A = this chain, B = another copy of it.
């Protein structure tokens, strides 16, 4: 690696990213999919790339729940997009929010005015939460998609115990130490398990008037079982493992109402100060930008080459797209799908735009289905192979450290995990004043 001080003395050369003769690929979204496309197109002669994201960082979503539960710090699951691609002089990264596409003019519209022309457009804008038409629930039961979400949930969880320590009303104390996680998918299972670990272990000795080990943690699922995408015996194992951690697993329990003081399930009212939403997702509005027909949930229909149906110069991938396997089944909304699609599309665009070849269709190769429950406990399913308990947990941990972007993050996360494992402590139990004020607004009885 060259000495950065020398590097720093060479003024950056904007030419490559500006050379207007080059074919201009505009990528919207720096998640797993968009980033992989950019990396495949990096330093390719004849191509210039503009990568747009409304955040300055690539976020490692799969570990976001550990930020929300004070195991990791935000900086440990995020990496500046610029740095990841900075060695590719033909890639320009812009912090900007896209809010429209002009197909006739071939340009993306930016929220703050301005527009950027493209020759080829790649939409990797991901998904957001769906509250099934109850937008007002979002205030009370935030979901987990951004660092702000994670910080907000962390502040609510920690603040609930702080307030429980101060209240003299037993009913209110009960409400403050009740945590309702809605949705029994991997996210919900991970959140419920992590909140249990936080209260049963990390916080166990730190309070005087309240006993965190007696906190009520509810995992609320409408379907007959949690982890519905896993085999039944793994769902059963996960349920048992969660209950051992002190989580109450409620299946066949559709949520009917959520407000500031609690949640209503099957007609019965559950007072809870902290609620987390892990139930539904919907695609970001990129489909509307294009004005194309979308699947239920707003997912953009794409062909086997990930081109948007009916368009030749616009591609979509990851959570915003609906791609189908050879057997016609819809591909799941997983990081590994977006990641594989991104690398495929990057290579395909290279072949098409530079070599003039016609690439083969995309094929998804499952790397397996993972969900972690807690300390020494996870489920892994890969083809006919399924693991649970400690071995699954080990596989999960190794896979996630390996997949983290940035060697420094891998090192620090490994360190934090070893530390947490040995001491049962959490490294990032912070409430900032701004977060406290925001959280307090939603936890008032």
Chain A residues near B (Cβ < 8 Å):
1, 4-5, 7-9, 11-12, 14, 17-18, 54-57, 73-76, 78, 80, 82-83, 86-87, 89, 92-96, 114, 146-148, 151, 158-159, 162-163, 165-166, 200-201, 204-211, 213-214, 408-409, 411-412, 415-416, 419, 423-425, 427-434, 436
Question: Are B146 and A432 in contact (CB-based, < 8 A)?
Answer: yes
A112 to chain B, nearest CB (A): 9
Known contacts A56-B158, A80-B206, A92-B208; A201/B5 CB under 8 A: yes
Chain B residue numbers with a CB within 8 Å of A429 are 56-57, 80, 83
Pick the contact of A55 from B78, B80, B146, B431 — CB < 8 Å?
A: B431
Pick the contact of A73 from B9, B76, B83 — CB < 8 Å?
A: B76
Known contacts A96-B166, A208-B14; A408/B412 CB under 8 A: no
Most B C-beta atoms less than 10 A away, residue of A76, A87, A205:
A205
CA A307 to CA B431, docked complex, whole Å = 32
Known contacts A56-B429, A430-B74; A12/B412 CB under 8 A: no
Instruction: Give the copy number.
Output: 2
Pick the contact of A12 from B56, B146, B211 — CB < 8 Å?
A: B211
Question: Are A207 and B82 in contact (CB-based, < 8 A)?
Answer: yes
Question: Are A82 and B12 in contact (CB-based, < 8 A)?
Answer: no
Question: Are B86 and A206 in contact (CB-based, < 8 A)?
Answer: yes
Chain B residue numbers with a CB within 8 Å of A433 are 54-55, 146, 148
A39 to chain B, nearest CB (A): 15
Chain B residue numbers with a CB within 8 Å of A146 are 432-433
Question: Are A208 and B17 in contact (CB-based, < 8 A)?
Answer: yes
Pick the contact of A78 from B89, B95, B201, B430 — CB < 8 Å?
A: B430
Most B C-beta atoms less than 10 A away, residue of A82, A96, A200, A424:
A82
9 A-B pairs closest in CB distance: A8-B204, A4-B424, A75-B428, A73-B75, A82-B206, A95-B162, A73-B73, A80-B429, A86-B206
